[in-house]
Amino acid sequence: MEQGDYSGSKAFPPLKNDTFLKAAWGEVTDYVPVWCMRQAGRYLPEFRETRATQDFFATCRSPAICCELTLQPLRRFPLDAAIIFSDILVIPQALGMEVTMVPGKGPMFPEPLNEPADLVKLRENVDVTQELAYVFQAIMLTRYKLKGEVPLIGFSGAPWTLMAYMIEGGGSNTMAKAKRWLYQYPVASHKLLKILTNLIIDYLVDQVTAGAQALQVFESHAGHLGSKQFNEFSLPYLREIAHQVKEKLKASGLDQVPMIVFAKDAHYALEDISESGYEVVGLDWTIQPKVARERVGKKVTLQGNMDPCALYAPKDKISETVKKMIEEFGTQRYIANLGHGMYPDMDPEHVATFVETVHTHSRQIRKNE
Ligand code: CP3
């Protein structure tokens, strides 16, 4: 493949819009590409209708439905990337843990890990290729059905975030159970984080084999750590994942794909994150774009970071916020997104305003440059 040619493997329809990939690799783009975290979500009536018929994880195991849900937001908005419909908690499931999605409440593990002795309950030598074949099938099918319109993003949860769910048994305000492990059982914590890291590496490589054209790693619970614990229990594993995925892609003769790290609420570690081996750093909305740019320079592409709740504002206010955000980030080495996922009560028309303003305003700036 020639540099800058992202049309991809002949087995799939050639890529028509590579703006997102170009921005991710730090190449010049004519406009700022945009996608939204949780763009396939309950704010879309068609999503609610498709999802209504079955349980959340049964949906995740149905490639055709995952494909349909992934494509839905692209039919409405001129987004520059698709993200495969799935969930980060399929990894704990592959390790043998039971996870259910309780409507209106979120994920629930009936038997979370309580103490280090519980680690023996986790399945050993998990064959991700086989165990999570349903995700790879969904990716392959979606690559065909996308017809090359935009690239497809694959993803995984990061080790600390998955560990936190596996110990807490669901969401938590304090993460006290999971953090107790870090303080009381550091050796067992590292053991668990290492098990997860190895699985995540295979999982991400298999997603690229199946057709994913970029990868995002979600460290959604980074904010609970603080810099000391982040440096010990998150950063080394994030680095390992980026490094090993790239090595394994090379060894398998696969094209490299840009990797995005989204460590929510971890701007205390922004410099280290920007040097951890990822092409793109995702930002939550609690950091000013200008400050983030100053701190990381032009070494990486930044992604984010409008407060998702800004979508509740009237449309003209949304446009104003988006314009300011683009001016602060600049039109290059930048992918517009929200600072976290959308909520179910958000208005699709406001999402349309968000996406449209990113495109029109960034083109305008480029024209005047
Ligand atoms: O459009 C997309 O973003 C792609 C699909 C996607 C989902 N989950 C589908 C989903 C992605 C990328 C995720 C990642 C994910 N899952 C994360 C990391 C991102 C983040 O939010 O920080 C986390 C922490 C999870 C775990 C998870 N899944 C929680 C906490 C919940 C409940 C919260 C909620 O929104 O209800 C889920 C459920 C979930 N995953 C939904 C969707 C669309 C909503 C439930 C439904 O459809 O019934």
235-251: per-residue pLDDT in tens? 999 999 999 999 999 99
2 domain-assigned: no
Residue 56 within any structural domain of the chain: yes
* Position 250 in a domain: yes
Please count the structural domains in the chain: 1
Locate the ligand 1 atom nearest the alpha carbon of residue 69 and give its number: 1
- Tell whether the model's pLDDT for residue 146 goes beyond 80: yes
- Give the mean pLDDT of the chain: 96
Res 298: pLDDT = 87
User: Is residue 51 annotated as a catalytic residue, yes or no?
Assistant: yes
The reported pTM is: 0.97
- Under the banding of pLDDT at 50, 70 and 90, the label for residue 53 is confident
1 assigned to some structural domain? no
Centre of ligand 1 to C-alpha 37, Å, is 9
Antiparallel, parallel or unpaired: β 100-102 and 82-83: unpaired
Q: Is 321 a domain residue? A: yes
C-beta atoms surrounding 244 within 10 Å: 18
Q: Flag whether 80 is in a domain.
A: yes
Task: Please name the residue whose Cα sits nearest to atom 29 of ligand 1.
Answer: 106
Q: Which two tokens stand for residue 211?
A: 């057709």
Residue 295 lies in a domain: yes
Evaluate: CB of 177 within 6 angstroms of ligand 1.
no
346 lines ligand 1 (CB under 6 A): no
* Strand spans (E) along the chain: 82-83, 100-102, 106-108, 152-157, 214-219, 259-263, 280-282, 301-306, 334-338
Is residue 324 within 8 Å of residue 306, measured between CB atoms?
A: no
State the distance from the centre of ligand 1 to the C-alpha of 318, rounded, in angstroms.
Answer: 24
- Whether residue 298 is contained in a domain is answered as yes
Q: Does residue 368 contact residue 332 with C-beta atoms inside 8 Å?
A: no
Cα 333 to ligand 1 centre (Å) = 27
* 42 flagged as catalytic: yes
Q: Residue 37: give its domain's CATH number.
A: 3.20.20.210
Give residue 29's domain range: 9-368
Q: Which residue has the tokens 């107790």?
A: 180
